[in-house]
Amino acid sequence: MDKFIVKTQSRFEMIDITKEVSSVLNKAGAKEGTCYLFVPHTTAAVTINENADPDVPKDILMELDKAIPLSDNYRHIEGNSAAHIKASLFGSSEVVLVEDGNLVLGTWQSIFFCEFDGPRTRNVMVRFISAV
Ligand code: ZN
């Protein structure tokens, strides 16, 4: 298993990590198979969506904030329940196919690390399973 660090800069953020994941796969000599991504955090997540237009992740974060407000009489004493809920909605893992050493992603797709309670130093775990 490999891992890399993401240093987030703000409280809410979607960071394109596609290049970092590709770099890990290249260093591992990955050719054909499956790439598993796992974020070992309860207030962060990983998702795949559009990065061709940088307004898409901004819109996603804006609407998430409306659906899951920061304050809403939550019971969790740490005060970051909104971040926990957002993290569960997006999930802590993604699976991406790998072909000829490249991530199989649609033209407009990127892999995003989603920070919901930053800024923090975060980890992304990567496991490549070879198909051959
Ligand atoms: Zn908490």
Residue-wise pLDDT for 15-34, tens only, equals 999 999 999 999 999 999 99
Per the structure, the count of domains in the chain is 1
CATH number for the domain including 103? Answer: 2.60.120.460
Given the structure tokens 């997540």, which residue do they identify? 45
Q: What is the pLDDT of residue 126?
A: 98
Given the structure tokens 């490999």, which residue do they identify? 2
Which of the four pLDDT bands, split at 50, 70 and 90, describes residue 132? confident
Å from CA of 84 to ligand 1 middle:
6
Q: Per residue in 37-86, pLDDT tens?
A: 999 999 999 999 999 999 999 999 999 999 999 999 999 999 999 999 99
* Structural domain harbouring 24: 2-130
Å from CA of 45 to ligand 1 middle:
14
Å from CA of 3 to ligand 1 middle:
24
pLDDT reading at 100 higher than 90:
yes
**pTM exceeds 0.85:** yes
Extended beta strands in the chain, E state: 2-7, 13-16, 33-38, 44-50, 93-99, 102-103, 109-115, 121-130
Distance CA 112, CA 8 (A): 12
Å from CA of 118 to ligand 1 middle:
12
Q: What is the DSSP letter of 131?
A: -
Å from CA of 58 to ligand 1 middle:
24
Question: Residue 118 in contact with residue 7, Cβ under 8 Å?
Answer: no
Å from CA of 42 to ligand 1 middle:
8
Going by C-alpha positions, the residue among 109, 119, 65, 112 that lies closest to residue 91 is: 112
Which of the four pLDDT bands, split at 50, 70 and 90, describes residue 115? very high
Q: Tell me what the mean pLDDT of segment 96-104 comes to.
A: 98
CA distances from 61 to 66, 69, 70, 78 (A): 9, 11, 12, 21
Å from CA of 78 to ligand 1 middle:
5
pLDDT reading at 97 higher than 90:
yes
Å from CA of 82 to ligand 1 middle:
9
Structure tokens at 99: 């072909």
